[in-house]
Amino acid sequence: MGNVGISEEDQDMMEGMYLTFMLTDQSYGIEIRHVIEIIRMQQVTEVPDVADYIKGVINLRGKVIPVMDVRRRFGLDSQNYNERTCIIVVSINDAETGMIVDTMKDVVDIPDEKIQEPPTVGSGNDKRFIQGLGKVDHDIHILLDIESVIGSLEEAF
Q: Which of 117, 78, 121, 118 is nearest to 100 (CA)?
A: 78
For the entire predicted model, the pTM comes to: 0.85
Helices (H) and strands (E) in the chain, counts: 4, 11
pLDDT at 2: 32
pLDDT at 6: 46
Q: What is the CATH number of domain 8-156?
A: 2.40.50.180
Tens of pLDDT, residue by residue over 12-26, are 567 889 999 999 999
Tens of pLDDT, residue by residue over 73-117, are 999 998 999 999 999 999 998 899 999 999 999 999 999 999 999
State CA 126 to chain mean position distance.
17
